[in-house]
Structure 1
Amino acid sequence: MDTMQALQLTDYLIDLEKQLHSTESRHSLEELNRLIADDFIEFGASGSSFGKQEVMEWLPLEQNIEITASHFQCRLISDDVAQVTYRSVRKTAEASDRYTLRSSIWKKTGSYWQMIFHQGTITCSF
């Protein structure tokens, strides 16, 4: 993969990651199904581990959550696997802001990319 292709892929995967932060995508089972692989696993900032089924059940029910993300980086692990890392701040009306370091692994399946793993680690404010 040449430098231009790598930059395009980086931008594309960061955009997919940001889609999962939007209320529209988070409330759409169709979008979640498209973006999250069937064998997805998450180690959540809460300390819990869960899969796609749990995400599909509770993510559409979340209300009044705003996620701001920054400091994105992407590294290609192989031609069809990449890691996206970044910082996020989760804001809700009910709780104080939660600052988290995040890491996602995306895998290309056929002609599209899906998230197969995600981890959030709570940290101090940045």
Structure 2
Amino acid sequence: MRASDADVTALLDPEFVEFGASGRRWGRESILEVTGSAPEETGRPVRGTGMRGTLLAPGVVHLTFHTDDNGRRAHRSSVWRRHPEAGWRLYFHQGTLTSDESA
């Protein structure tokens, strides 16, 4: 998915914002600079666990989960909006690093 500008663009809401685990603020355009046309990453895939979703309003879902990227653990939170023509798109995401081994 990350290797295709078109796929990343289709996934992200036009108003997308992310506060990454690095502390950096990302927008739709800045994410495209480091995904889409960037060389494909090698190595193990990121492991996601504990995924839970909560309906906040019709067409708006809050998703929480944990990731482990080769020992770099983070709590993650995202808000997804459903668009009539485009389907579900990622509107907001935040990652917070943690030392919690259950993440």
Q: Does 1:123 find its partner at 2:102? A: no
Q: Does 1:67 find its partner at 2:67? A: no
Q: Work out the CA distance in 2 between the residues paired with 1:72 and 1:105.
A: 13
SS at match of 1:26: coil
Q: Work out the CA distance in 2 between the residues paired with 1:109 and 1:100.
A: 28
Q: Work out the CA distance in 2 between the residues paired with 1:72 and 1:48.
A: 23
**Structure 1 segment 40-51 matched on structure 2, within 5 A:** 40-51=16-27
Which 5+ residue runs of structure 1 have no aligned equivalent?
1-24, 92-96
**RMSD (Å) for aligned C-alpha atoms:** 1.3
Q: Which residue of the partner structure matches residue 78 of structure 1?
A: 57
| Larger relative helix fraction | 1
Q: How many residues align?
A: 97
Kindly indicate whether structure 1 or structure 2 has the higher relative contact order, using CA contacts under 8 Å at least 6 residues apart: 2
Runs of 4+ that moved beyond 4 A: none
CA offsets, 1:73-99, max 9 Å, x none? 0000001110110000113xxxxx210
Which 5+ residue runs of structure 2 have no aligned equivalent?
none
Give me the identity figure in percent. 29
Q: Work out the CA distance in 2 between the residues paired with 1:72 and 1:63.
A: 24
Q: Work out the CA distance in 2 between the residues paired with 1:56 and 1:90.
A: 21
Give the TM-score of the pair, scaled to structure 1: 0.72
SS at match of 1:85: strand
